[in-house]
Structure formats: structure tokens, C-alpha cells
Amino acid sequence: MGIRYVGKWDASPDGESPTLWVDEEKRLVYMQGYRVEDPELEAELLAAAGRDRIPANETLIAFPDDMIDLFPGVRRDDSGPQSG
């Protein structure tokens, strides 16, 4: 089935909302969010996880807590993601 659009944050002030997709074949969830660029916040987040760095192929993103309501749309059982 490929990539499926799940939804976006409706309260975005500019309409360029953080967005959520799911790739049901690869069993991956993709999110467009706000890049965390504050070094102090990054250090605090990493310290809370007992880590000191982010791997070069990863980044920290932030998204509004009310976007959690979209995550049932990517829920899965052992067979992979499914519509919620």
C-alpha cells in the first residue's frame, strides 16, 4: 500500500503544520516537525536519556503534544501499522 498520510497539526499558525505519515510496507512512521536547534535543550534531552550525542544520521524534532491524537492512525499489531 505504500505511504499513507495520517494527518497534520490543525493549530499551526502558518498552515505548514507538523505532519505525520506511515509507510505500511516498511513499517516506518515519518514526521515533519520543528527541528530542535537549542544546544542547551538538546543537551538536557540527551542527558535525560543517558546519552551524550545524536547519531549523524538522526535529528531531534519537536511536535505539539496534542498531535498525539494522530498516533492511533499509525497503530499496529504484529502485522504492521493499521488505520485507527
Q: Contact, 75 vs 82, CB < 8 A?
A: yes
pLDDT in tens, 21-55: 989 888 888 999 999 999 999 999 999 999 999 99
Confirm whether 62 is domain-assigned.
yes
Number of domains in the chain: 1
Confirm whether 82 is domain-assigned.
no
Q: Contact, 30 vs 18, CB < 8 A?
A: no
Looking at residue 69, its pLDDT comes to 83
Percent of the chain with pLDDT over 70: 87
Cell numbers linked to 8:
497534520
Residue 31 sits in which domain range? Answer: 3-75
- pLDDT for 82 beyond 50: no
Looking at residue 76, its pLDDT comes to 57
Looking at residue 83, its pLDDT comes to 43
Confirm whether 83 is domain-assigned.
no
Confirm whether 80 is domain-assigned.
no
Confirm whether 15 is domain-assigned.
yes
The pTM of the full predicted model, rounded to 2 decimals, is 0.72
Q: Contact, 17 vs 70, CB < 8 A?
A: no
Q: Contact, 9 vs 63, CB < 8 A?
A: yes
